[in-house]
Amino acid sequence: MAASEPEFGDQALIACESLVRIYQTGPVEIQALQGLDLVVERGEMVAVVGASGSGKSTLLSILAGVDAPTAGRARVEKWNLLSMSRADRVRYRRHTVGFVRQQTASNLIPYLTARQMVDLPMTAAGTPKAVRRQRAGELLDALGVGQYAGRTPGQLSGGQQMRVAIAVALANQPHVLLADEPTGELDTATSAEVFGALRDVNRDLGVTVVVVTHDPAVSGQVERTVAIRDGRTSSEVLRRTATADDGGTHVIAEEYAVMDRAGRIQVPRDYREALALTRRVRLALEPDHITIRPDA
């Protein structure tokens, strides 16, 4: 039976299972990811939320091919992120994923213009000059910063810098865009604009987007939000638009717990506290649901 069982997240674009990343600093071990599961379908836009230190940047660095996991499984398209050769890693980072790092400044080069920065990854990939020129113009236009193509980062606002950074990440037409708190340093209005630009990239260019954010207003705009707690996927919120009797539309958000392949579920703290659930609980299978009771 095991042989015919489909691989976890087989059809998905991104599939992480029981992902572990341990940082060793001297005698101290930090478990940044402790068995994280994540499946992202092609064409999706997913928000990742979680407290500071919960492992969000670690996850994105691994997906970006910048950092390597300690154990578990991580696959993006055909690439196994645990067993990639050095040459494959370079190819992967150049063509499969675009990465916008957490600090805006680390994405840009102070003495280059926006156009030159978008040109750089294409030059590295050996793209002909005419194609590079056209594509840089198109990308900067698509992100609403075409008129600033000749400016250096210092001559751009924070929101404009972020749009340029997104254009740079998309230069080699990756299928996946990873953005780590792209709106973290921006005010509310600018942050909404940048997030709108990410949604355009997802919808118009068909790029699968994984965006880390701590902004609930922002995460409320995507169909799926994945919450990470202590280096594990703890819950997911799915949103869909429903039409009311009067014809108006509203968004329904439903929260789900996430179960891993071994059947483990994290019961939210407030549920545990409300019923004083501790180490042992009683499970009972009912016709269409399962109950969990305190061990009394």
Q: Which is nearer to ligand ADP, 54 or 233 (CB)?
A: 54
| Exposure string over 214-242, b if 16+ CB within 10 A, otherwise e | ebeebbebbebbbbbbbbbbbbbbeeeee
On whether the CB atoms of residues 56 and 1 are closer than 8 A, the answer is no
Q: Which is nearer to ligand ADP, 58 or 221 (CB)?
A: 58
Q: How far is the CB of 125 from ligand ADP (least distance, A)?
A: 28
Q: Which is nearer to Mg ion, 56 or 94 (CB)?
A: 56
271: three-class secondary structure by DSSP: helix
160 phi and psi angles, rounded to 5 deg: -65, -40
Q: How far is the CB of 271 from ligand ADP (least distance, A)?
A: 23
* Residues of this chain, 39-68, that bind ligand ADP according to CB under 6 A: 50, 52-58
Q: How far is the CB of 2 from Mg ion (least distance, A)?
A: 37
- Indicate the residue type of 269: R
CB neighbours of residue 124 within 10 Å: 12
Q: Which is nearer to ligand ADP, 146 or 184 (CB)?
A: 184
On whether the CB atoms of residues 94 and 79 are closer than 8 A, the answer is no
* Piece of 18-26, 48-56, 154-162, 275-283 that binds Mg ion (CB under 5 A): 48-56
Tell me: does residue 106 bind ligand ADP (CB under 6 A): no
| Exposure string over 10-24, b if 16+ CB within 10 A, otherwise e | eebbbbbbbbebeee
Q: Which is nearer to Mg ion, 57 or 233 (CB)?
A: 57
Binding partner of residue 53 among ligand ADP, Mg ion, none, CB under 5 to 8 Å per kind?
Answer: ligand ADP
Q: How far is the CB of 215 from ligand ADP (least distance, A)?
A: 14
Tell me: does residue 25 bind ligand ADP (CB under 6 A): yes
- In order, the DSSP letters of 13-45 are SEEEEEEEEEEEETTEEEEEEEEEEEEE-TT-E
Q: How far is the CB of 138 from ligand ADP (least distance, A)?
A: 32
Query: Element (H or E) spanning 254, and its range?
Result: strand 249-257
- Residues at the site binding Mg ion, with contacts judged by CB under 5 A: 56-57
- Residues at the site binding ligand ADP, with contacts judged by CB under 6 A: 23, 25, 30, 32, 50, 52-58
